[in-house]
Amino acid sequence: MRMSTETLSDEIEASGGGAAGADAIAAPGSGSSAWRTGPSWPRRRVTLVARRTPAPAWVRQWVRRDLGPFLAVEEVGLLDAVDHLRRVPSDEIVLVDPQSPAMVDRLKGAFAMLPQRSRLLTRVPEGPRASELVAPALTWHGRLFKRTLDVLGSIALLLFLAPLMLLVALAIRLESRGPVFFVQPRYGLGCRMFDCVKFRSMRTDACDRDARQLTRRGDPRVTRVGAFIRRTSIDELPQLFNVLTGDMSLVGPRPHPVQARAGDRLYEEVVADFARRYRVPPGLTGLAQVAGLRGATDTEDKLVRRFELDLAYIASWSIWLDLAILARTPWASLKGDNAY
């Protein structure tokens, strides 16, 4: 799920920059600079993506005039942009016109897989003009409502489910040696990695951190306690701590492990723009899960259908939709038809 920097470099040269144009792009790790407007408590983080860094004076003047005070502004070169934005959080992306429609289209496609708003800044005779490339996945008040629900909901659920979680932890320790929890790196908001916490459901020597092997019905790696908690989704309850820390949301597309596969192919090989589902935080539950698409993705068709529902959730998000999905989740979890 990465944009090829080699392809970007080729397009920069083809757009008329030639070797000089390519050299003007800062190399990874050395092509960024940062500055602020106003006092030292930035309210908003803006990333300027430009052919050359630092950006021209007219760009900085536009930032100060149109975006206002209380900003933390970072400038990155075209080659660094996508990987940098997946590593470093930003509230808004401003692409300074690279003088290449092909480059704009390509970067627009990459920005469409990131959660924040992105705009194109061009210079016309009347002065700088900003036009929207990609609208944000959630508005600022949507993010506020969703985060408030996540914090209050995760605290309430942790308090309510604490006795059950303690019993599950005890059962895991009594049945098999090893830790109670299983920590797995997974993709989160904007495709940034985070440590996803679950109750351990497999033998310690058989745990698969990268999920290279699909879990099968009757899988010998799964313990007896593990089979029950996987079927009922109780193994996912420790992710309430991920919700509380902000790595996840109560509702959203489920996070997937690095090597997750549909059949024999990686998710991003089956769906080229799979990263679009991470424009919102990954969820403990989601629209696809309550629609019956939870558990193993042993066929490509199951993955595509799940992806389509994830995009439908993002497109139609509201706080009421989150509440409706949460209300349907207990029944969907108890069905357990495809979870093993």
| DSSP per residue, 213-279 | S---TT-TTB-HHHHHHHHTTGGGTTHHHHHHHTSSEEESSPP-BTT-EETTEEHHHHSTTGGGGGG
Rounded Cα–Cα distance for residues 229 and 235 (Å): 5
In percent, the amount of the chain with pLDDT more than 90 equals 43
**Residues found in the chain:** 340
Rounded Cα–Cα distance for residues 116 and 95 (Å): 13
Residues 6+ apart with CB under 8 A from 236: 198, 284
Q: Whole-model pTM?
A: 0.79
| pLDDT level of residue 84 (50, 70, 90 thresholds) | confident
Rounded Cα–Cα distance for residues 133 and 220 (Å): 49
Residues 6+ apart with CB under 8 A from 219: 340
| pLDDT level of residue 222 (50, 70, 90 thresholds) | confident
| pLDDT level of residue 31 (50, 70, 90 thresholds) | low
pLDDT at 25 over 70: no
User: Which CATH class for the 5-134 domain?
Assistant: alpha beta
Cβ atoms < 10 Å from Cβ of 11: 18
The radius of gyration computed from the CA coordinates of the chain, to the nearest angstrom, equals 22
3-state secondary structure of 113: coil
Rounded Cα–Cα distance for residues 220 and 156 (Å): 35
Q: 255-284: per-residue pLDDT in tens?
A: 998 888 887 888 889 998 898 999 999 999
Rounded Cα–Cα distance for residues 101 and 11 (Å): 10
pLDDT at 158 over 90: yes
| pLDDT level of residue 9 (50, 70, 90 thresholds) | very low
Distances (CA, A) of 52 to 19, 56, 60, 120: 14, 8, 13, 15
Q: Which of 71-75, 157-161, 205-209, 230-234 is predicted with the least confidence, judged by mean pLDDT?
A: 205-209
Q: Taking the domains of the chain in order of start, what are their residue ranges? A: 5-134, 140-335
**Which residues lie across from 35 on neighbouring strands?**
73
